[in-house]
Amino acid sequence: MKWILLSIVVTATALSDLLQSHEMKRAGEQSVDARGLARLLKTIARRRELILSIVCLAISFFAFMALVQAEPLSFAVPASASSFILETVLAKLVLKENVGMRRGAGALLVLGGVILLAR
Protein backbone atom coordinates (compact mmCIF):
# COMPACT_ATOMS: atom_id res chain seq x y z
CA MET A 1 0.00 0.00 0.00
CA LYS A 2 2.83 2.42 0.81
CA TRP A 3 4.16 2.26 -2.78
CA ILE A 4 0.71 2.96 -4.24
CA LEU A 5 0.34 5.97 -1.94
CA LEU A 6 3.85 7.12 -2.85
CA SER A 7 3.07 6.83 -6.61
CA ILE A 8 -0.04 8.95 -6.14
CA VAL A 9 1.94 11.56 -4.19
CA VAL A 10 4.71 11.73 -6.82
CA THR A 11 2.47 11.89 -9.93
CA ALA A 12 0.04 14.42 -8.47
CA THR A 13 2.89 16.59 -7.13
CA ALA A 14 4.72 16.67 -10.48
CA LEU A 15 1.57 17.64 -12.36
CA SER A 16 0.68 20.29 -9.78
CA ASP A 17 4.17 21.86 -9.81
CA LEU A 18 4.32 22.04 -13.61
CA LEU A 19 0.94 23.78 -13.75
CA GLN A 20 1.87 26.15 -10.92
CA SER A 21 5.22 27.12 -12.39
CA HIS A 22 3.73 27.71 -15.85
CA GLU A 23 0.82 29.80 -14.59
CA MET A 24 2.72 31.83 -11.98
CA LYS A 25 5.30 32.94 -14.53
CA ARG A 26 2.42 34.14 -16.72
CA ALA A 27 0.73 35.88 -13.77
CA GLY A 28 3.75 38.06 -13.01
CA GLU A 29 5.58 38.78 -9.76
CA GLN A 30 3.60 38.01 -6.56
CA SER A 31 4.24 38.55 -2.85
CA VAL A 32 2.81 37.25 0.45
CA ASP A 33 2.35 40.48 2.42
CA ALA A 34 -1.28 41.42 3.28
CA ARG A 35 -2.02 43.07 -0.09
CA GLY A 36 0.06 40.54 -1.99
CA LEU A 37 -1.87 37.60 -0.49
CA ALA A 38 -5.21 39.11 -1.55
CA ARG A 39 -3.86 39.61 -5.08
CA LEU A 40 -2.43 36.09 -5.11
CA LEU A 41 -5.78 34.57 -4.05
CA LYS A 42 -7.53 36.54 -6.81
CA THR A 43 -4.98 35.25 -9.31
CA ILE A 44 -5.65 31.67 -8.19
CA ALA A 45 -9.43 32.13 -8.44
CA ARG A 46 -9.15 33.51 -12.00
CA ARG A 47 -6.90 30.81 -13.48
CA ARG A 48 -8.35 27.38 -14.16
CA GLU A 49 -4.89 25.79 -14.42
CA LEU A 50 -4.00 27.01 -10.92
CA ILE A 51 -7.25 25.59 -9.54
CA LEU A 52 -6.46 22.28 -11.28
CA SER A 53 -2.96 22.39 -9.77
CA ILE A 54 -4.50 22.78 -6.31
CA VAL A 55 -6.82 19.80 -6.96
CA CYS A 56 -3.71 17.75 -7.86
CA LEU A 57 -2.02 19.04 -4.72
CA ALA A 58 -5.03 18.04 -2.60
CA ILE A 59 -4.88 14.49 -4.04
CA SER A 60 -1.16 14.41 -3.26
CA PHE A 61 -1.80 15.79 0.23
CA PHE A 62 -4.44 13.22 1.22
CA ALA A 63 -2.26 10.38 -0.06
CA PHE A 64 0.64 11.89 1.91
CA MET A 65 -1.48 12.08 5.08
CA ALA A 66 -2.21 8.34 4.85
CA LEU A 67 1.47 7.65 4.06
CA VAL A 68 2.82 9.69 6.97
CA GLN A 69 0.46 7.96 9.40
CA ALA A 70 1.71 4.49 8.47
CA GLU A 71 5.38 5.20 7.74
CA PRO A 72 8.11 7.21 9.55
CA LEU A 73 8.22 10.94 8.67
CA SER A 74 11.92 10.47 7.88
CA PHE A 75 10.87 7.99 5.12
CA ALA A 76 7.67 9.65 3.86
CA VAL A 77 9.10 13.13 3.26
CA PRO A 78 12.32 12.18 1.41
CA ALA A 79 10.64 9.34 -0.52
CA SER A 80 7.99 11.71 -1.82
CA ALA A 81 10.87 13.82 -3.15
CA SER A 82 11.42 11.24 -5.88
CA SER A 83 9.14 13.50 -7.94
CA PHE A 84 12.15 15.80 -7.97
CA ILE A 85 14.08 14.34 -10.92
CA LEU A 86 10.90 13.84 -12.98
CA GLU A 87 10.02 17.49 -12.40
CA THR A 88 13.51 18.76 -13.28
CA VAL A 89 13.38 16.90 -16.61
CA LEU A 90 9.86 18.18 -17.30
CA ALA A 91 10.93 21.73 -16.36
CA LYS A 92 13.53 21.55 -19.14
CA LEU A 93 11.30 19.84 -21.71
CA VAL A 94 7.91 21.44 -21.03
CA LEU A 95 8.70 24.77 -19.35
CA LYS A 96 11.87 25.33 -21.45
CA GLU A 97 13.97 26.24 -18.40
CA ASN A 98 17.72 26.34 -18.83
CA VAL A 99 18.95 23.46 -16.65
CA GLY A 100 22.70 23.99 -17.10
CA MET A 101 25.67 22.01 -15.75
CA ARG A 102 25.72 23.55 -12.26
CA ARG A 103 21.97 23.28 -11.74
CA GLY A 104 21.94 19.74 -13.15
CA ALA A 105 24.87 18.70 -10.92
CA GLY A 106 23.24 20.31 -7.89
CA ALA A 107 19.95 18.55 -8.65
CA LEU A 108 21.78 15.19 -8.88
CA LEU A 109 23.54 15.83 -5.55
CA VAL A 110 20.18 16.60 -3.95
CA LEU A 111 18.67 13.46 -5.50
CA GLY A 112 21.57 11.38 -4.12
CA GLY A 113 20.97 12.93 -0.72
CA VAL A 114 17.26 12.23 -0.88
CA ILE A 115 17.92 8.57 -1.79
CA LEU A 116 20.30 8.18 1.17
CA LEU A 117 17.78 9.86 3.45
CA ALA A 118 14.94 7.62 2.27
CA ARG A 119 16.71 4.32 3.12
Partner 1 sequence: MTHSPGARFRTYSLLGLFVFLRPLGNLSLAWGTKHFPQVLSLNPVVYLRAMVDPFVALGIAMLILALLTRLALLSLADLSFVLPVTAIGYVLATLFGQVFLHEAVSAQQWMGSVLIFMGTGLVGTTPQNTTADAKESG
Using CB under 8 A, list all residues that contact partner 1: 17-18, 20-21, 24-32, 36-37, 39-41, 43-44, 50, 54, 57, 61-62, 65-66, 68-69, 72-74, 76-78, 81, 84, 87-88, 91-92, 95-100, 102-103, 105-119
CA atoms within 13 A on the CB side of 20: 14
Count Cβ atoms within 10 A of the Cβ of residue 10 and give its class: 0-12 exposed, 13-18 middle, 19 or more buried. buried
Q: Is the dihedral of CA 21, 23, 28, 29 positive or negative?
A: negative
Min dist CB 45 to partner 1, Å, is 12
Question: Would you say 52 or 54 has its CB closer to partner 1?
Answer: 54
Min dist CB 87 to partner 1, Å, is 6
CA distances from 25 to 21, 30, 68, 85 (A): 6, 10, 32, 21
Min dist CB 106 to partner 1, Å, is 3
Min dist CB 92 to partner 1, Å, is 7
97 neighbors 25 (Cβ within 8 angstroms):
no
Question: Would you say 52 or 99 has its CB closer to partner 1?
Answer: 99
